[in-house]
Amino acid sequence: MTFILRWVFNALAIWVAVSFVSGVAIANPDGRNQTALLTLAFIALVFTVVNAFVKPVVKLLSLPLLILTLGLFTLVINALMLMLTAWISSYTDYGLTVDGFWTAMWAALIISIVNWALGALSGGRVG
């Protein structure tokens, strides 16, 4: 149940990031709203899986940098996870596009804030 809730929260967070950051877009070849929703669900699924399996390994390997920067390096890790999601989803017709590292940083910051707010609203059960 936690995985599904994270998936939904990530979908909402990615949607907000795509709405506010100009260099982040969702490729939707059909142009239909139903297909756009399925595309967003697919991208959120990839992002959730990347965050569940790859992110802990990257955080463990970068532990000295995390300690040195008092946790601010987490934003860089989040941006890299978003770029990895864009790279993985680029092999499909329905994917996420990110126009560079700084765009990914802004989008990752927005995704983190939205996920934090949604987690706080849900009573902190996700995390």
Residue at 75 is within a domain: yes
Residue at 11 is within a domain: no
Residue at 14 is within a domain: no
Residue at 7 is within a domain: no
Residue at 1 is within a domain: no
Residue at 124 is within a domain: no
Per-residue pLDDT in tens (0 to 9) along the chain, 127 residues: 689 999 999 999 999 999 999 999 998 767 666 678 889 999 999 999 999 999 999 999 999 999 999 999 999 999 999 999 999 999 988 889 999 999 999 999 999 999 999 999 987 665 5
Total domain count, the chain: 1
Give alpha helix (H) positions in the chain: 2-20, 33-53, 55-61, 63-68, 73-89, 101-121
Residue at 46 is within a domain: yes
Which pTM value belongs to this model? 0.90
Q: What is the span of the domain harbouring residue 100? A: 19-115
